Structure 1
Amino acid sequence: MLLHLCTVEDWAHAERAGGVDPLPDVGFVHLSTPEQVHLPAQRLFAGRDDVLLLVVDPARLTDPVRFEPGVPGDPASMLFPHLYGRLPATAVVAVLLWEPDRRPPVPTADDAAGRYAALALSLPVRRAHACGDPVARRGAGWAVGSPDHPVSRDDNRLLLPVPVDAEAVLADAAPLVPTAAASVTWCWPGAPDDAARLAHDLERRGWRVGADRVLARAVPAAGEPTGPAELLAQREVHDLWADSWRELLPDDPAAIAQLVGREHRNDLALRVLDVGVREAGRVVAAGQLRVDGGTAAVESLQTATGHRGRGLAGAVLDRLLDEAAVAGCDLAVLEAAAEDWPRHWYARRGFVDVGVTRTATRTTTRTGQAGTSQASSR
């Protein structure tokens, strides 16, 4: 696999434009191997925390790649891959956070768990950068926060890309705990024992730990849309989202407004498509697709009360997979609660279990006492 360095803003623009264009002064896109990428990173992006590693599958490139000398100061024998043509967004199979002091594992195209982990751990950081929210390295992880959405677990959390012990987590997460819904998320492909041990240790210390199964499938070839699901403007889905949150938070309209209002933030970090089914002018089923290069994440698939059991969610999922194919994605990923029935529903639709992601939540009440609340459920 090859790597391309860019900023959060650069990748968001490239995703919408369909790829990265060659530099006009040299006629190629700079690439690196995993063993040499630290050299251009230190030269071009020293001291920055908004730098990404785009993982490029050479098999998906149609223009030539030539290995050529770098710049003066690089080892004389080292040759860098230069792509003489456009880098298609669909050739990017994962997006990693660049960390000068750590070499992240680089997933291959067929590593569904690794590709999912890259998206799950990098998107919250990329989203925070795109929104101008606080981002900080804390120990082995990344901390993000959203002052405008304090009840959102997704936007106020510590993200752990590598195994750590509970004591380190508690120290690194401490600045987040006063937030209404502080949380810690970890997803370590290939280290299930370490992940389970951290969950056990945090539970002993009073944190609530939930597990989701990571499911994945190859994206089928696109067909002509035939069902009732259609592309929607995101605002058209707001009422359905609000109704869903109202079932959990019946007495907290301010929290519901935050949880619905936060969703537009993803659009600033990657490409987002919303799909739904309308009946009598009202959206009664919907789902979201987040396109990140060649990876498509299915999110927020739901059906309104009173309309379930009629196949509407299946129609939405089919349309989401069609849109993933149109976008050039080869892999679809999603999370499903480990102990709930939807993961079996997804299995019948071709999704297979590839791993686990865990989130530990500890909230603080208005009186300053530690506790757990429904508002920390997402």
Structure 2
Amino acid sequence: MTEPLLHLISPGDWRGSLAEGAVVPPSLYEVGFVHLSTAAQVALPADRLFHGRQDLALLVLDPDRIDVPVAWEPGVPGDPESMRFPHAYGRLPISAVLGVLPYRPRPDGGFDAPTLPVLDTAGRCTLAVSSLLRRVATSEMPVTGGVAVLTEPVPLSHQHNQLVVDGEVDAATLVADADRVLGAAGLSHRKALLTGEHLAPTAAGLEALGWEIEELAVMAARPGGPLNPFVGQTGIEDMRPFWSEGWCRAIPGVDGDTIQQLNDRYQLEDEEAVDTRLLSVRNDLGDVIAGCVLKIDGATAMIDAVETLPDHQGRGHGNALVAQALALAGRAGCDLVTLDADAADWPRDWYARHGFTQVARSWSAQRR
């Protein structure tokens, strides 16, 4: 891939682009093209148009997947005279978007040139997870090696209120950061997502300090395959009883408020960040007996929450759900599907039979 191109976008506009199947900003109708930038250029329009804005994102585009003409032309008055910006003369397919990178200003409101992650298969998979958490969050704070995300509508969802770390940090510093940020937010739990092989010692250090550690296999597969007529797409209200039963099994004694928020988070993600498809298998009475969540985010899709009710297991429902998710992702223009599996449990091998291979490791660390 040649050097990626970037497009500045708000979360709402990106969610609209996912629904449209293409990035179609007002500039396409006003001046006839979509404004793009390189990593060295993008701070200029960000400072000029969005100084201090806290919720911007950068669409990281593969130029080879942009199927409309791209011309390198002068910018606006005030830009360096010798600088030429890429302008795309047409709609940008979401299949060209390899990743969605949160783009935050400095404390003074200005923007710096971003450091782009390596968007190979592993990089795209890990970015998809961390980016989604950051884009859904109502606020974030810098911590050593990453950020802390806080999501006010669902404070009881530990996943959406935690430290998201991919840089160097030792266990003691991470604990102090978690106490400082999550404690100040009035949260009783302490949780962190650590991504990258270099953080294995940090995970071990947290375990030695009494934290619960779950090693996750970050897995990837190519989408495609036929659709299954027995797997449907379901509204969130129909999924709530199914999910609630699952949470009661997974968390003995869980209270109603927690269940409500654990269910609400999927709706929040759909409204704020990604195209969420709720897939289900129903019995003859119309009740949901198996389900999973497919999240489409440009050319990358995520599979989450694959589950079958205990009385209906062993009948191929999980196989049908994963196959349907892969088929739908392919039809949405994705070329990569990712999921996290417990590295020490049987689903990792089960996903491997569906074509998933491990491409990275992460650790979910929690102190209750």
State the TM-score, normalizing by the size of structure 1.
Answer: 0.87
The reply on whether 1:44 has 2:44 as its aligned counterpart is: no
| Cα distance in structure 1, aligned partners of 2:142 and 2:51 | 15
Q: How does 1:235-250 map to 2 (within 5 A)?
A: 235-250=237-252
Question: 1:183 aligns to what?
Answer: 191
Moved more, 133-142 or 52-61: 133-142
Paired residue type of 1:118: L
Question: 1:114 aligns to what?
Answer: 123
Question: 1:342 aligns to what?
Answer: 347
Alpha-carbon distance change, 28 to 160 in structure 1, aligned in 2, over 3 angstroms: same
Q: Which runs of 5+ in 2 are unaligned?
A: 105-110
| Cα distance in structure 2, aligned partners of 1:102 and 1:71 | 19
| Cα distance in structure 2, aligned partners of 1:63 and 1:150 | 43
Report if the CA contact (8 A) 2:34-2:88 is conserved: yes
The reply on whether 1:209 has 2:218 as its aligned counterpart is: no
% identical equivalent positions? 39
Alpha-carbon distance change, 180 to 260 in structure 1, aligned in 2, over 3 angstroms: farther
Q: How far apart are 1:233 and its partner, in Å?
A: 1.3
The reply on whether 1:273 has 2:277 as its aligned counterpart is: yes
Question: 1:17 aligns to what?
Answer: 20
| Cα distance in structure 2, aligned partners of 1:72 and 1:310 | 65
Q: How far apart are 1:64 and its partner, in Å?
A: 0.3
CA RMSD of aligned residues (A): 1.9
Residue 54 of structure 1: which of 43, 50, 59 is its match? 59
- 1:91-139 Cα offsets, whole Å, 9 max, x none, are 111111114457333444xx111111211111112112xxxx3333345
Residue 123 of structure 1: which of 132, 137, 142 is its match? 132
| Cα distance in structure 1, aligned partners of 2:152 and 2:144 | 22
Question: 1:259 aligns to what?
Answer: 262
Question: Secondary structure at 2:329's aligned position in 1?
Answer: helix
Question: Secondary structure at 2:57's aligned position in 1?
Answer: strand
Paired residue type of 1:179: L
Question: Secondary structure at 1:306's aligned position in 2?
Answer: helix
Q: How far apart are 1:167 and its partner, in Å?
A: 4.2
Q: How far apart are 1:169 and its partner, in Å?
A: 2.2
Alpha-carbon distance change, 20 to 261 in structure 1, aligned in 2, over 3 angstroms: closer
Question: Secondary structure at 2:156's aligned position in 1?
Answer: coil
Paired residue type of 1:60: R
Residue 103 of structure 1: which of 106, 110, 114 is its match? 114
Moved more, 138-147 or 245-254: 138-147
Report if the CA contact (8 A) 1:57-1:92 is conserved: yes
Question: 2:108 aligns to what?
Answer: none
Q: How far apart are 1:253 and its partner, in Å?
A: 3.0
| Cα distance in structure 1, aligned partners of 2:308 and 2:42 | 45
| Cα distance in structure 1, aligned partners of 2:7 and 2:58 | 6
Residue 151 of structure 1: which of 139, 150, 156 is its match? 156
Q: How far apart are 1:196 and its partner, in Å?
A: 0.6
Q: How far apart are 1:19 and its partner, in Å?
A: 1.9
Paired residue type of 1:259: L
Q: Which runs of 5+ in 1 are unaligned?
A: 364-378
Q: How far apart are 1:203 and its partner, in Å?
A: 2.4
Q: How does 1:214-225 map to 2 (within 5 A)?
A: 214-220=218-224, 222-223=225-226, 225=227
Question: 1:229 aligns to what?
Answer: 231
Aligned residues: 351
Q: How far apart are 1:285 and its partner, in Å?
A: 0.8
Moved more, 240-249 or 165-174: 165-174
Report if the CA contact (8 A) 1:29-1:83 is conserved: yes
Q: How does 1:155-170 map to 2 (within 5 A)?
A: 155-170=160-175
Q: How far apart are 1:242 and its partner, in Å?
A: 1.1
Report if the CA contact (8 A) 2:282-2:290 is conserved: yes
